[in-house]
Structure 1
Amino acid sequence: MRPKFASFVTPEGASFGLVRDDGVVDIGRRDQRYASLKTVVEAGALSSLATQYADMPVDHALDAITYSIPLADPEKIICVGVNFPDRNEEYKDGQDSKPNPSLFIRFPRSFTGHGQPLIRPPESVQLDYEGEIAIVIGKAGRRIAEADAYDHIAALTLCNEGTLRDWVRHAKFNVTQGKNFDNSGAIGPWLVPFENADQLADVRLTTKVNGELRQEDRTSRMIFTFRKIIAYISTFTTLVPGDIIVCGTPTGAGARFDPPTWLKPGDIIEVEAEGIGLLRNTVADEVFP
């Protein structure tokens, strides 16, 4: 079983550590070298810490922590749109598929942690789900060759790239508004260190809503591979440790039902991928002070 690193909050404050079946080892409290999980990624220390703390006694029960997004302050969160064949079919417009991925940016504030509710804002009821695999950059690079791309990955995690569908259509050329409402999506529960290509080669990715399977596909069917995504993005911007790339969702989002099926308070959404874990969130309406 691969190690799992999470950021979390306890009554003593924010920290990070190693999640095991019997509880959580609080590395943030035990090891003053690292201020956060991001500083661990920047130091390339995930593997060494996994070994160092593998047999340490746990500091917290699993139900005593509140999960945060694994990396609270990445320099960049870049998302890939329309990256599975059946999803691409939803956007047929008489044109051939483009040779490069569609990209957009999300802010860290638009995400919440595992076990927390996605927040439906009063401006829209059209909150939708998108289950995705996300990669975390561990080694900086610009114009990275596809052959070298995996050398720049530190870890893997999951994302529910929650979207306000009507707000992504407020303007002609962008989706930024509908992708960035506070706490409308989730990342987590943890980071799984990336060790070899098999972890991404043919991974089953699913999304369930209230136990019903809504999305299912495999990474081997992605239009743009993880290598291509890293190479393409690094052409125009330097990727740095802690950057998160969210790599695309399968078909089956609520917007494609007839009539559309939007998320509502009380719903439970579960995004799961083999070898990474399960990201579970509920839904709640935004509450004003």
Structure 2
Amino acid sequence: MRFATYTAKDEVFYGAVHDEGMIALSPEFPQWPTLRDVIAGDGLAALEDAAQDKPVTHSDVTYEIPVPNPEKILCVGVNFPDRNAEYKDGSAAPKHMSLFPRFARSFTGAGRSLIRPPENHTLDYEGEVAIVIGKGGRRIKAEDAYDHIAALTLCNEGTIRDWVRHAKFNVTQGKNWDNSGAIGPWLVPFTDAAQLDDARIETRVNGEVRQEDTLNRMMFPIREEIAYISTFTTLVPGDIIITGTPTGAGARFDPPKYLVPGDVVEVEVEGIGILRNTVEDEFDTDEFGEEKA
């Protein structure tokens, strides 16, 4: 079963996803105002039970980020061998993983537009699997890491490429433009290691496959990500770890293939779903990049 946060008639709900729409469940669980609270209360199984044989309550909905206002969103960078080779610096696989934070405001929901800002037009895509922490902890052992995952979702970790080069060791400003990325469309409860170990991820732009790889080729597997991150910070329910993107981002083409208004970007993993977003400009600008009157 899949669970989503969505807006219908200007009201935010969470519920179960049905082929014909949504089954609102939040009104039945006032003790859990959001899906983040559901996860903290180990309540996904209760939602599944509650959704059985219930009718669809909403057919016209807008997806929100599945877990609202997570305490932490941490992203793992350069985590596939071919991605590391893209940098052409002759370096071997790094000893430790690269990490950076993203803020919830930098993401939008499925079906919405990624926003290209007027300050810079190097908006790029990065398709990734995101894990949602269910059971918190500190110094979690790698062999126990999967016990701490509540659910899986997808991410387009949209990036303003020129802005990740504004400092020597800092990519944060290029990774946190409002609504530059997306998470969703829903949560799939994590029940089996094969959901991650055997997963293949594919990113398409206007139907053209740009990225494809399997998660078992990650330089830092998800078990290690959880173990490493929890060494220095306590993971709490609802935290999101965005696990790494394969080679093939737009910046790596010659010339680069950055996203432009009207593009459609899809990130797909079998068993999780498809995260689909369009692209639009934040402002309507003229040929010189100036906002039109």
What TM-score do the two structures reach when normalised by structure 1? Answer: 0.96
Q: In the alignment, is the contact (CA less than 8 A) between 2:44 and 2:189 conserved in 1? A: yes
Q: Choose which of 234, 243, 251 in structure 2 pairs with 1:255.
A: 251
| Distance in 2 of aligned mates of 1:164 and 1:22 | 36
Query: 1:196 corresponds to which residue?
Result: 192
Q: Secondary structure at the match of 1:205?
A: strand
Distance 2:91 2:279 in 1: 37
Which aligned pairs between 1:45-194 and structure 2 lie closer than 5 A?
45-61=43-59, 64-194=60-190
Distance in 1 of aligned mates of 2:91 and 2:264: 37
Matched, 1:36 2:34: yes
In structure 2, C-alpha distance between the alignment counterparts of 1:110 and 1:231, rounded to whole Å: 26
For structure 2, list consecutive stretches of 5 or more residues without a partner in the other structure. Answer: 284-290
Q: Per-residue deviation at 1:17? A: 0.5
Matched, 1:214 2:210: yes
User: Which residue identity lines up with residue 249 of structure 1 in the other structure?
Assistant: T
Cα distance in 1 for partners of 2:46, 2:91 equals 49
Count of residues in Structure 1 that have an aligned counterpart in Structure 2 = 285
* Separation in 1, partners of 2:86, 2:259: 20
Answer with 85-94 or 143-152: which moved more: 85-94
Cα distance in 2 for partners of 1:87, 1:96 equals: 12
Give the Cα–Cα distance (whole angstroms) in 2 for the partners of residues 134 and 179 of structure 1: 16
1:49-101 alpha-carbon deviations (Å, 9 max, x no partner): 1122122111011xx00000011200000000011111111123233221221
* Identity across the alignment (%): 63
Question: Paired residue for 1:5?
Answer: 3
Partner of 1:26: 24
Distance in 1, Cα, partners of 2:244 & 2:52: 32
Q: Aligned equivalents of 1:126 and 1:22: distance in 2?
A: 37
- More deviation, 21-30/35-44: 21-30
Residue 12 of structure 1: how far off its partner (Å): 4.5
What is the RMSD computed on CA atoms of the aligned residues? 1.2
Structure 2 distance, partners of 1:268, 1:51, is: 35
Superimposed CA distance per residue, residues 7-61 of structure 1 (whole angstroms, 9 cap, x where no aligned partner): 0111141111100112211011233222011100110111221122122111011
Q: CA deviation at 1:198?
A: 1.0
Give the letter aligned to residue 90 of structure 1: E
Cα distance in 1 between the residues matched to 2:96 and 2:168: 20
In the alignment, structure 1 residue 274 sits paired with structure 2 residue 274: no
Task: After TM superposition, list the pairs within 5 Å mapping 1:226-245 onto structure 2.
Answer: 226-245=222-241
**Pair 33,81 (structure 1): closer, same or farther in 2 beyond 3 Å:** same
Q: Structure 1: give runs of 5+ residues left out of the alignment.
A: none
Residues in 2 aligned to 1:31 and 1:153: alpha-carbon distance in whole angstroms: 22
Residue 157 of structure 1 aligns with an amino acid whose one-letter code is T
